[in-house]
Amino acid sequence: MARAAEVEILEGGGSVAVTFANGETCRFHAVWLRDNAWDDKTRSPGNGQRLITLGEIPRTISVVSATLAGGQMQLTFAPEGRTIPYDLSWLERHAYDRPAGHTFRGWMAEDIETWDAGLADGVPLGDFSAMRQEPRALRDWLRGVRRYGFGKITGGPIESGALFDVVALFGYVRETNYGRHFEVRTEVNPSNLAYTGLGLQAHTDNPYRDPVPTVQVLYCLENSAEGGENMVVDGFRAAERLRDEDPHGFDLLTRYCARFEYAGGSGVCLRSRRPMIELAPDGELVAVRFNNRSAAAITDVPYEHMAGYYAAYRRLGEIIDDPAMEVSFKLSPGESFLVDNTRVLHARKGYSGAGSRWLQGCYADKDGLLSTLAAMDLKDREAA
The rounded Cα 228 to chain-centroid distance in angstroms is 28
Burial group, residue 248, by CB count within 10 angstroms (0-12, 13-18, 19+) = exposed
CB of 105 to Fe ion, least distance (A): 28
Is the Cβ of residue 13 or residue 197 nearer to Fe ion in the bound state?
197
Interface pattern 148-187 for Fe ion (x via CB under 5 A): ----------------------------------------
Shortest Cβ 225–Fe ion spacing (Å): 18
Specify the residue, 205 or 326, whose C-beta has the smaller distance to Fe ion: 205
| Minimum separation from the CB atom of position 193 to Fe ion (A) | 9
297-to-195, 266, 272, 316 alpha-carbon distances in Å: 24, 21, 11, 18
The least CB distance from residue 31 to Fe ion, in Å, is 47
* 119 versus 359: smaller Cβ distance to Fe ion: 359
Q: Least distance from C-beta 270 to Fe ion, angstroms?
A: 15
Beta bridge partners of 261: 271
Residue closer to Fe ion (CB basis): 205 or 251? 205
- Of all residues in the shown chain, the one whose CB is closest to Fe ion is 205
C-alpha–C-alpha distance, residues 295 and 210, integer Å: 14
**In the complex, least distance from residue 291 CB atom to Fe ion, rounded to whole angstroms:** 8
Using CA atoms, how far residue 36 sits from 33, 88, 228, 249, 336, in Å, is 5, 13, 53, 41, 43
Minimum distance from residue 263 beta carbon to Fe ion (Å): 18
Cβ distance to Fe ion smaller for residue 15 or 204: 204
The answer to whether 167 and 362 are in contact (CB under 8 A) is yes
Cα angle, residue 270 at apex, residues 267 and 271 outer, rounded to 5°: 145
Long-range Cβ pairs for the range 301-305 (8 Å, 24+): 301/252, 301/256, 305/252, 305/256
With 0-12 / 13-18 / 19 or more C-beta atoms within 10 angstroms meaning exposed / middle / buried, residue 259 is: middle
User: Smallest gap, in angstroms, from Cβ of residue 157 to Fe ion?
Assistant: 23
Least separation in angstroms between CB 287 and Fe ion: 16
Closer by beta carbon to Fe ion, 205 or else 340: 205
Closer of 139 and 346 to Fe ion (Cβ):
346
> Residue 164 class from Cβ within 10 Å (0-12 exposed, 13-18 middle, 19+ buried)?
middle
Angle ∠(60,63,67) on CA atoms, nearest 5:
170
In the bound complex, what is the minimum distance in angstroms from residue 235's beta carbon to Fe ion? 13
- Percent composition of the chain: helix, strand, coil (DSSP 3-state, to 5): 30, 30, 40
Query: Binders of Fe ion among 191-230, rule CB under 5 A?
Result: 205
Q: Give the CA radius of gyration of the chain.
A: 25
Residue type for position 61:
I
* Identity of the residue, 205 or 365, whose beta carbon is nearer to Fe ion in the bound complex: 205
At 291 the three-state DSSP class reads: coil
Q: Which is nearer to Fe ion, 62 or 216 (by Cβ)?
A: 216
- Binding residues with Fe ion: total (CB under 5 A): 1
Give, as ranges, the residues between 25 and 44 that touch Fe ion (CB under 5 A). Answer: none
Cβ closest to Fe ion, residue 131 vs residue 238: 238
Contact 230, 218 (CB under 8 A): yes
Binding site residues, Fe ion, CB under 5 A: 205
